[in-house]
Homo-oligomer: A and B are copies of this chain.
Amino acid sequence: MEYIADMDSVFEIIAEPNRRAILSLLVLSKQSVGEIERQLRMPQPTVSKHLRVLREAGFVESTVDAQRRLYRLRPEPLQELDAWLAQFRRFWSAHVDALERHLDRLDQPTIDHSRPTKKTTTRRRGPNRERDKGEK
C-alpha cells in the first residue's frame, strides 16, 4: 500500500544531512542518480529515496535522459527558507550594532542553567558557553 510520508515543511527536508549534500551538489549542475551516488558515496536506493523526498517537496525536478534521470535544483523552497530567515536579519544586525555601541556593558551575566541534582551535573557538547560574554 505504500506509506505516505509527512515531511511537509521545508525545514524537515533539509534537516537530513544527505539531502543537504545532494542539494549542495545539484547547485553546481544537473546530475544523474548514478553520479550523485558515486560522488556522495551513498547506496543507490538511499539516493533515490532522498531524491523522491526532495522532489515531492519541490526542491528538485528531473528530466529523462535515456535510461537516466537528470535531477536539477529548483529555487522556490530554498527561497521560502530564506524568507523565514528574513525576520531574524533585522535582529542580528541590531545585535551587531548594540555590540559596537556599548561593547563592555554587560546587562546581566549568563547563568548556568543545570539544576544540580545528586547526580552529576549534566553537561553536553563540548566547550559550553565559554565565549558567552567573551568580549572585553
Contacts of A88 in B (CB 8 A): 23, 27, 73, 75, 78
Please give the number of chain A residues whose Cβ is less than 8 angstroms from any Cβ of chain B in the complex. 51
| Chain B min CB distance to A110 (Å) | 5
Please report the C-alpha to C-alpha distance between residue A52 and residue B113 in the assembled complex, in whole angstroms.
9
Question: Would you call A2 an interface residue if the criterion is a C-beta within 8 Å of the partner chain's C-beta atoms?
Answer: yes
Contacts of A129 in B (CB 8 A): 61
| Chain B min CB distance to A107 (Å) | 7
Contacts of A95 in B (CB 8 A): 75
Q: A20-B11, A63-B110 are in contact. Are A119 and B75 (CB under 8 A)?
A: no
Footprint of B on A, CB under 8 Å? 1-2, 4-5, 8-9, 11-12, 14-15, 17, 20, 23-24, 27, 52, 55-56, 61-64, 69, 73, 75, 78-79, 81-82, 84-85, 87-89, 91-92, 95-96, 107-111, 113, 119, 122, 124-125, 128-129, 132
